[in-house]
Chain A
Amino acid sequence: MSETAIREDRSSKGMARVSAALWRRGWLRATLTLTPPLAWFLVIYLASLVLMLVTAFWSVNPFTNVLQHSWTLANFNQLFTSPYPTIVLRTVEMAAIVTVTDAVIALPFAYYMARVASPRTRRLLFTAVLLPLWASYLARVYAWIVILQKGGTLSWSTSHLGLGAVNIGYTNTAMWIVFSYIWLPFMIVPLYGALERIPESLLEASGDLGAHAWRTLRLVVLPLVLPGIIAGSIFTFSLTLGDFITPLLVGGSNAQFIGNVIYNNLGTANNLPFAAMLAFVPIVIMVFYLLGARALGAFESL
C-alpha cells in the first residue's frame, strides 16, 4: 500500500512539474490547447472550402464524367447564361420574402413572450416554438403537403366554411408558407433575446414623455431589437438560400432553386465543378448580406 502511495506521490509530483512548466511558459500552454481545435478548423473547415473553390475552376468530361484538372472559367461564365440568373433571382427573392414574413410574425410573438407573458406561459410558449425542431424536417414538410394539396386539410376546411376550395399545393405560395413555418423558430429565439434585454425603464420613460404604444415601438423598441432581427434574418435568409428539399417536395413546375441545381449537378449530371461554382453563389450573397447588416449596426452589441 505504501508503495502505491509513493508511486502516486511521484506521479503527482510529475504532474505538478508539468503544470508548473506550462504555467511558466504561457505560449506552450496556448499552443497545446489551441492546436487540436485550430487544426480541425484549418483542415476540415477551411481546407474543404478552399478545395471547393479550386474544384469550381475545373471541369468534367461530359461524356465519361471524369474530372479534368485543367483550369477554366467556363463554369463561372455559364452562371450568367439562361436560366441561371432567373434561378438565382428566384432563390434570393424567396429568401427575402420568407425573412420579412418571419420577422413580421415573430416580432409580436416574441414581444408577448418576453414582456407580457407570465413565466409559466413563457415556458409553455418556448416549448411550443422549439417543439417542431425536435421532429424531422422531412416529416414536417410532408405534413404540409397533406395540408396544402388538392382535397387536403386546408382545402377541405375552406370549402366546408363556404369559402370554396383553396388549391395552393405545389406552387410558390406553398413554398413560401412552408419555408416561413420551418424557419420561424430561428427568428423568434434571437428576437426574444433582444426584446428581453430592453430595460423596462426605457419603455416607461417613453410613455412618460408622452409617446403612444405605436410610437414607442417604432422609435424605442425597433431600433433596440434591430440586431436581434438581423441575427434572426441571417438564419432565415441563409437557410432558405441553401435549401433544396422544400422546393423539391412542395414546389411546382417553377421551383428550381440554387440548391436544386446543385443537387441535380451532383446527383444526376455528376458535374462536381459546376456544383462547386454554384455553391459559392449563396456564400457571396451572404457576404454582401452580412456587410449590409454590419453597416446597419447589427453586430455592435455582440
Chain B
Amino acid sequence: MTASGTKGTGERMKPRRSRLAGVLIGAAATALLVVALIPSGASASHVNAGLVAPEANAPVPSSIGKGEGKLNLIAWEGYVQPEWTKPFEKQTGCQVNVKYGTSSSDMVSLMANGGGHQYDLVSASGDADLRLIYGGDVRPVNLALIPAWKDLQPFLQSPSFNTIAGKHYGVSFEFGPNVLLYSTKTFKTAPTSWSVIYNKKYAGQITVPDDYIQIADAALYLSKTQPKLGITDPYELTTPQFNATVALLKAQHPLVKKYWDLASQEESLFQSGTTVVGAAWPVAVSTLIADKDAVAETIPKEGATGWADSWLLATNAPDPNCAYRWMEWMTTPQIQAEDAVSYGETPGNKLACPIMDKIQKGSCEGLHANAPASYFQSLYFWKTPLATCDNGKNDCEPIQNWVAAWTQIIG
C-alpha cells in the first residue's frame, strides 16, 4: 500500500472513529443500565459476616406440615440419583429439582445470591458450612423431627461444622476420609506416616489434590511431627503455624508430579505408574482396586483429614416441609446404604451397614461403615478456616489467606 493510500484511509477513518466512539458509549450505557438493574439489596445483609450466626434465633417448626409439592436442592453430583429420588417423590408428592454445585464455594455463592429464595436445601461439605451459617444463608433445624438423627455416628450428631451453641443448621449424612494412596510395588508394607509425600526419595512420583484445603493436611502432619508449633486443630492456624505449613507445602512443590483436579486424573497417574504415592479420595481408591491396579490405601499414624456432608436448610426455603421430608428420607438406613455404595463413601447412619452388604458384598467394611471409634477419631473433618480460633483469640488465618497461599504454593 502506498503512503498516499494510507493517508487517504486515515482521513476517511475519522468520521468512522467518531461513530465507533458512539458505539462504545452506547455499549457502556447499556452495561451501566444492566448494572444499575442488578439488585444490590441482597449483598447488604451478607456483607457484615461477623461471628454471630444471623439466623440463630429463627424459629424452628415443632412438626412437619403438609408438603409444598416441590423441593429445590443444591447438591453434589451423585447425591440425587433417580434410584432414591423417584420413590421419595412418589411417597411425599414433593417434586425434586436439583442444581449441581461444582465446588464448595460455588454452593456458597448459589445459596447467597438471589436472596436464597430459590433453594430449600444444600448438601454442603464441612468447609462450606460455617460460611453459610455465618453468612445467614441457612437457619436452624429441629432435629427431633428427623428420626434417624439419633442413629447417626455420635461424632456426626452435633459436629462443630454444622452445630453452633447447640443449634443445628442441618443434618449430617455421608462422609469419607482423605486417605494415603500408595503403590504396592513401591511400598511392600503400608507407609505409617504422611512423611512419604514430603520425602525427596519420591520426588516426581507424588500427587496431591489441587485444593486450598490441602493446607490442613500439611498442618495435621506438622501437628504430630513438630509439636513445638502447637497446632491443635489443622483448620485453626495462627500466623506462625500457618507460615510453617505453607513453607512445608512450598518445599513439597518440586517433589510433586501433578496437583490433580479430577479424581480420574489421579487414577490414570497411578494406573500408568507415573506417581506411586499421594493423597486421595476413597472413590479413586475403589476405582483403582476394582481395576486390579497394584495400589492400597491407608490412614497413617498422624490421622487424616476428611469431609462430611450435611443437608443444610436455606433461610428463605420456599418449601420447608418437603425439605424436612428429604432430610428424613436421606438419613434412613436404606437410602444411606444406597447412597454410600453408589458414591463410594461412608454412611452417617450406623444401621446402614448390613444393608450395604446386601447391595454389594463387602462394601460395609470396604467403606469403613463398621470401623471402630478409634478410626473415626483419627479423622479431622473439613471446616471453614475462620479468623477466630476456638481459644477465643482472633489470631487465626481466615479462608481467604488459605486460598491466596495455595495459589502461591502451586503457582
Interface residues of A (CB under 8 A from B): 42-43, 46-47, 49-51, 54, 61-69, 82-84, 86-87, 145, 149-152, 167, 169-170, 248-249, 251-253, 255-256, 261, 264, 267-270, 300
Contacts and interface: CB of A to CB of B under 8 A. Distances in A.
Contact of B272 (A64, A169, A255): A169
A252 B257 contact: yes
A83 B256 contact: no
A65 B131 contact: yes
B42 A66 contact: yes
Given A51-B35, A68-B47, A150-B273, A82 B135 contact: no
B37 to A, nearest CB: 12
Contact of A145 (B254, B268, B398, B411): B268
B402 to A, nearest CB: 10
Nearest to A270: B105
A61 B49 contact: yes
B126 to A, nearest CB: 15
Interface in B367-388: none
B137 interface: yes
A151 B185 CA distance: 15
B43 to A, nearest CB: 5
B257 A46 contact: no
A80 to B, nearest CB: 14
Contacts of A145: 268
B274 A63 contact: no
A66 B46 contact: yes
A51 B38 CA distance: 12
A86 B35 contact: no
B246 to A, nearest CB: 13
B30 A43 contact: yes
A68 B43 contact: yes
Interface string B165-202: 00000000000000000000000000000000000000
Interface in B146-170: none
Contact of A65 (B26, B105, B273): B105
A170 B257 contact: yes
A169 B43 CA distance: 45
A267 B256 CA distance: 23
29 contacts: A42-B27, A43-B30, A46-B23, A46-B24, A46-B27, A50-B30, A50-B31, A51-B34, A62-B400, A63-B135, A63-B399, A64-B46, A64-B108, A64-B112, A64-B134, A66-B42, A67-B113, A82-B408, A83-B408, A149-B274, A151-B272, A167-B274, A170-B257, A253-B257, A253-B259, A253-B410, A255-B258, A256-B407, A270-B106
B30 A42 contact: yes
A38 B410 CA distance: 44
B35 A54 contact: yes
B403 A269 contact: yes
Contacts of A300: 1
A139 to B, nearest CB: 14
A264 B407 contact: yes
B232 interface: no
B113 A47 contact: no
A170 B257 CA distance: 7
Given A64-B112, A66-B109, 17 more contacts: A42-B30, A54-B35, A62-B403, A63-B49, A63-B399, A64-B49, A66-B43, A66-B112, A68-B43, A82-B411, A150-B273, A152-B272, A251-B258, A253-B258, A261-B407, A268-B211, A269-B403
A64 B131 contact: yes
A62 B265 contact: no
A66 B261 CA distance: 25
Chain B CB count within 10 A is highest, among A51, A54, A68, A255, for: A51
Contacts of A264: 407
A82 B411 CA distance: 8
Which 7 pairs from chain A and chain B are nearest by CB? A83-B411, A62-B400, A64-B135, A46-B27, A50-B31, A270-B105, A253-B256
Contacts of B43: 61, 66-69
A150 B185 CA distance: 15
Interface in B186-245: 211-212
B261 A248 contact: yes
B102 interface: yes
Contacts of A151: 272-273
Contacts of A47: 27, 30-31, 34
Given A47-B27, A63-B135, A145-B268, A267 B103 contact: yes
A170 B258 contact: yes
Contacts of B403: 62, 268-269
Nearest to B43: A66
Nearest to A84: B411
Given A63-B398, A66-B47, A169 B30 contact: no
Chain A CB count within 10 A is highest, among B26, B108, B211, B407, for: B407
B27 to A, nearest CB: 4
B253 interface: yes
B63 interface: no
B58 interface: no
Interface string B258-276: 1101000100110011100
B167 to A, nearest CB: 19
Interface in B27-55: 27-28, 30-32, 34-35, 38, 40, 42-43, 46-47, 49
A50 B23 CA distance: 12
Interface in B258-314: 258-259, 261, 265, 268-269, 272-274
Given A66-B46, A66-B47, A256-B411, A269 B105 contact: yes
B411 A86 contact: yes
B267 to A, nearest CB: 12
Given A47-B30, A83-B407, A248-B261, A65 B112 contact: yes
Given A63-B131, A87-B411, A253-B256, A268 B105 contact: yes
Contacts of B106: 267-268, 270
A66 B113 contact: yes
Contacts of A256: 407, 410-411
A42 B23 contact: yes
Contacts of B212: 268
Contacts of B103: 267-268, 270
A235 to B, nearest CB: 24
Nearest to A170: B258
